[in-house]
Structure 1
Amino acid sequence: MSGRRTIDINCDCGESFGNWPMGADDEIMPLITTANVACGFHGGDPQVMRKTVALAAENGVAVGAHPGLPDLAGFGRRKMDITPDDAYAMVVYQVGALTAFLGARGMTLHHVKPHGALYGMLHDQEEVAAAVADAIRDTCPEPLLYWPAPVAMHALPRAARKRGIEVVGEVYFDLGYSDEAKLIVERKKTAKDLDDVARRLRRFIAEGVVESLSGKAIPLEAETICVHGDGPNSVDIARTVNAVLAEEGVTTAAWQARTDGGRQRASA
């Protein structure tokens, strides 16, 4: 992000279900600018969604939908054989539910960010990706997709752009990258070295690159930093990210709409 002085911070939230807690939403919400809220399929339930939207409102955090596959037991991470019609209906259903909770608070939907196995399918399943892009276009007043950078690599961002949906690239400092700029996703979250998180973030701010696990510098265009809320030291990671950004003179703000109907980063 060399030369840019404002960035968004997003986190997956609202993934608890009934009596089963997930993440540290109360602690993480003051440290982010956008929340990706689960919509009841992989996590969340009506009460959790309602409370998460209220918590976001109290902290001035923009809310996006985090739709997944209908798999509470597997947290939406198990593969399913679904048709494009299935994918369209699932996303419309989940986005619609969250939009209703937002409307009850006088808020609007900010973006959509797919979860887990659904996200994985949208890398290369062109027909399913087209259906999900249609669902985003049809349910969002100002369609916006959050997706890991580099966004041109995958089917959903390509389909989204064809439909006039803006794609906001994400960068991660609590996950590793391969030499091909692919995220290395952990099945079981581990604590991260905070000094390493800070060092990698500072290099991204100064040079616009991320480091692969082998040490390769990978140029990356990203407008938002994703921090995970369910790792052993997730809150400390979020605090570290905020501290480094402040030290480097980078402000944080959600991606905001322009008056001409387009979108841009919030100015400092």
Structure 2
Amino acid sequence: MKKRTITLNCDMGESYGSWKMGLDEDVIPFIDMSNIACGFHASDPHIMSHTIDLAIKHNVMIGAHPSYPDLHGFGRRSMAFSASELGEILIYQIGALKALCEIKNTELSYVKPHGALYNDMMRDQEIFAAVADAVSCFNVPLMMLATQDNQAFLDIAERYDLPLIFEAFADRAYLANGMLAPRSEKGAVLGNEEDILNQIKQLVSYGKVTTLDGFVIPIEADTICVHGDNQEAVALIENIAQTIDNLSQR
């Protein structure tokens, strides 16, 4: 893995059958961690296997990216399940990716839930506990949003002896409470490259971000999420990677 102060992670393997999404081959040389879809919001066994091969080729960590069973909604719709049902849904997906890793003599390194499931576990501690319980079966860390106060999540994770990886977002604005600004709010998504790179520099150098309403708050992240859906985004990821590399050498 590349020697960086903060790693870069990206959602990958989100094509499905003949339908292609994302520029995985172009993105993967610049990242450290690949969040591979597990078939419930996108992907299929062939694409999962191919994406693992890409990660192996570029020495990138492999993470499972499970979701609610929502192919039609791309995992972006909240769904109601009991804790045991949600656990089974997660274990099914993570187990599939782990098995594919094992036949290629590589390993699953972490889990990052996708979409609505990710958002729901950050809002609801019972859902977070169900996710933590399922992920702990695989002896790998769980990736979650870095907030101003992670203590409640740390307490739950400790019950399951589950390590956590905290992430920030390159292209999302933050609220004063440390949560991501809702996409419906003006300015929630940073569309200007200069703004994105400034947020990266602030995160890497100072462990802080400037919120939508002008507050500077601490956000101590282990990794930063980037998205590579088009060639413009790939060029931005390359610039982000170079910025982090330059800052890491200081």
The answer to whether TM tops 0.5 is yes
After TM superposition, the score normalised by the length of structure 1 is: 0.84
Q: Write the distance in 2 (CA, Å) between the matches of 1:44 and 1:16.
A: 5
**Relative to structure 1, is the Cα distance of residues 157 and 87 closer, same or farther in structure 2, using a 3 angstrom cutoff?**
farther
> For residues 43-192 of structure 1, what are the structure 2 equivalents within 5 Å?
43-138=42-137, 140-141=138-139, 143-150=140-147, 152-153=149-150, 158-186=155-183, 192=191
Tell me what 2:223 maps to: 224
CA contact (8 A) 1:122 1:155 kept: no
Stretch deviating more after TM superposition (29-38 or 224-233): 224-233
Stretch deviating more after TM superposition (161-170 or 108-117): 161-170
Q: Write the distance in 1 (CA, Å) between the matches of 2:4 and 2:14.
A: 31
What letter is aligned with 1:116? G
TM-superposed CA distance for 1:171, in Å, is 1.4
What letter is aligned with 1:220? I
> For residues 203-214 of structure 1, what are the structure 2 equivalents within 5 Å?
203-214=202-213
Identity %: 36
* Gapped regions of structure 1 (runs ≥ 5): 252-268
* CA RMSD, Structure 1 to Structure 2 (Å): 2.3
CA contact (8 A) 1:64 1:112 kept: yes
Q: Count matched residues.
A: 245
**Relative to structure 1, is the Cα distance of residues 132 and 57 closer, same or farther in structure 2, using a 3 angstrom cutoff?**
same
CA contact (8 A) 1:53 1:63 kept: yes
Tell me what 1:247 maps to: 246
Q: Write the distance in 2 (CA, Å) between the matches of 1:151 and 1:89.
A: 31
Q: Write the distance in 2 (CA, Å) between the matches of 1:196 and 1:77.
A: 26
Tell me what 1:38 maps to: 37
TM-superposed CA distance for 1:125, in Å, is 3.0
After TM superposition, the score normalised by the length of structure 2 is: 0.89
* Gapped regions of structure 2 (runs ≥ 5): none
- Bigger relative contact order (CA 8 A; separation at least 6): 1
The SS at the match of 2:224 is strand
